[in-house]
Structure 1
């Protein structure tokens, strides 16, 4: 039974209820003196609490999809066979493999020309040597007759850390939101490439190229767009590409847009922070190289890197977020020809509920700054 399955959740809840009932039934016996009665009381109380917390944890994980499997929870690598989809071109077949397809949660989803399609892929980085799973949302227009040669803009969408790419589909509902906005004429049809920035699990690489370690920035800025452009009808110019992320993914999105304006024309950070975290999850990111550490500070980069014709979107809230001061500082530091926009909510915490309120306007903003050709 999978970590996110209803059976596991039901088993945990039933176990918690059963242990609670057993505690009530046997408590009179266990109220006696003696070491056996004491151990019995401790055991029942302990097991009841464990199952209660397990149930709450499973509900939270099922809602927000922090971990997709037991192996993901315990930081174990998964080795899976892949089925090669030869419909892509030669370059795409080498760097990207389609391993599954699923419907979008919209009416008419049986037909890709009506509901679009989500493809699960594995991307192989030629430069970074990193392999990472991802989900690619293709809008209905991609499959419609007469559009066989039409190109589309694309946006990379990143989770926070540790993250689960499924949360971008089920929890934050990026594909269904993009589908709705395009159908209403509020956004142009876009391809979304959804993944977590944790491409070397369980390590949090903060989307940097670690000396003698994972080259995450190279994978996201170079390998990933090339692989997608080689397999799908997406241009290779900066005007064709954007990047969005929340929390750690928000930091990564802004970092990629700031450091790679030749690849991404627009970047949006939802509840981002502005310099790389350094803790037990990251390990030694910079190996004493102060130039790399400064470069990973976005506020420093704005002061020291030449301004380019890039667009940035940052979000925060007056109550509930800890990044408001730094966000306002980021806004002040952006200089022409770069442009900056913001979403500042009156209140909203660092969570899915807040980001859901920001995703639709973010996709509209992104659509207005990307070109299909």
Structure 2
């Protein structure tokens, strides 16, 4: 019996009801000295409470699809999976970037964002540095309000700097950046807490298995209780502008990072995965690679309120089918066959079918929709991003 499904649900309901009923029936039948009777009754109450908590856990797991199997619950999700490039498994796990950038039928190559313009080098923004405070042992945090979007809030942006950033040999080096997006509801702190994204990158850098990226975790829902799927809503919150323009410009102004699109990438899990893929195909002039972990390929109900055309322009799958991004981008769609949504792997393969020169798929057979699965993907994700973003070299 798996931890999801009706058999487990009915068992949990039966036990949750049986606990209090059994306690009631046995309450006056307990024999022995007073301390023994008291301990026995307390034990019955405790068992009833544990069974009620079990039912609550089963309900939550069924609703969110957190754990698909007992191994998944115990943290054993098997192999992290293999990367499939152009419908072929890559033996060494490192795909070759696609080079075909021909726009698809239907117009521009930016998903309805207007006429394609040549990419020109970005100048480093002028203005004062944003103040960051220390967060934990190795991260920085700030409360930032975007000047264009007007969005932002307390501790909405967190940054981790690799050891090379303070190394004198790299004093003149501009570092590539990976923006990190949490799920919804969620917070950027998860990336440097439960996900431990910075610790895994530090380990890989030490092993020379990854580029020493600057990591920037960003809140994708700056308006509490409103999930825009990282979209600029007409006459509403401009979340895409907040992330891709306001936050990026602030980071370029404050830290020694590259301003070239070839050094900017994104990675997110769950709702943050949708954001990473969507913003990549909508802003190819600003970002060149992204990793989408267990992310949807179409926006949700809030965006759908503004009509099918608007929803399409904010759908990663629709954009790849109708407006191939130009300049070229690369997307890694990571998905598990046991993801509770039932469509994440199918959607990832649909992305690859729509644009095999753009999309690689990291396919995993076991594990549901939880941080243990996403953490297991981090080594391959960082390695893949290292192949698609600018390297870091000491500058004399």
Query: Same fold, TM exceeding 0.5?
Result: yes
Match of 1:9 in 2: none
Q: Is residue 362 of structure 1 aligned with residue 381 of structure 2?
A: yes
**CA deviation after TM superposition for structure 1 residue 303, in Å:** 1.8
Match of 1:239 in 2: 262
Q: What is the correspondence of 1:257-336 to structure 2 with a 5 Å cutoff? A: 257-278=280-301, 284-285=302-303, 287-308=305-326, 309-321=328-340, 322=342, 323-334=344-355, 336=357
Structure 1 runs (4+) greater than 4 angstroms displaced: 47-57
User: What is the Cα-based RMSD across aligned positions, in Å?
Assistant: 3.3
**8 Å CA contact retained: 1:210, 1:286:** no
**8 Å CA contact retained: 1:160, 1:196:** no
**CA deviation after TM superposition for structure 1 residue 360, in Å:** 1.2
| Candidates 349, 360, 363, aligned match of 1:344 | 363
**8 Å CA contact retained: 1:159, 1:168:** yes
Q: Secondary structure at the match of 1:202?
A: coil
Count of aligned positions: 291
Return 5+ residue gaps in structure 1 as ranges: 1-19, 30-43, 65-88, 104-116, 279-283
Match of 1:102 in 2: 136
**8 Å CA contact retained: 1:266, 1:312:** yes
**CA deviation after TM superposition for structure 1 residue 28, in Å:** 3.1
Q: Is residue 167 of structure 1 aligned with residue 190 of structure 2?
A: yes
TM-score (norm 2): 0.66
Q: How many angstroms apart in 2 are the aligned matches of 1:150 and 1:173?
A: 25
Match of 2:28 in 1: 28
Q: Is residue 227 of structure 1 aligned with residue 250 of structure 2?
A: yes
Distance 1:271 1:92, change over 3 A: farther
Distance 1:287 1:271, change over 3 A: closer
**CA deviation after TM superposition for structure 1 residue 97, in Å:** 2.7
**CA deviation after TM superposition for structure 1 residue 363, in Å:** 0.8
**8 Å CA contact retained: 2:334, 2:361:** yes
Q: How many angstroms apart in 2 are the aligned matches of 1:168 and 1:54?
A: 29
Q: How many angstroms apart in 2 are the aligned matches of 1:204 and 1:53?
A: 30
**CA deviation after TM superposition for structure 1 residue 50, in Å:** 11
Q: Is residue 144 of structure 1 aligned with residue 167 of structure 2?
A: yes
Return 5+ residue gaps in structure 2 as ranges: 1-19, 30-44, 67-124
Q: What is the correspondence of 1:154-193 to structure 2 with a 5 Å cutoff? A: 154-193=177-216
Q: Secondary structure at the match of 1:157?
A: strand
**CA deviation after TM superposition for structure 1 residue 130, in Å:** 0.8
**8 Å CA contact retained: 2:349, 2:361:** no
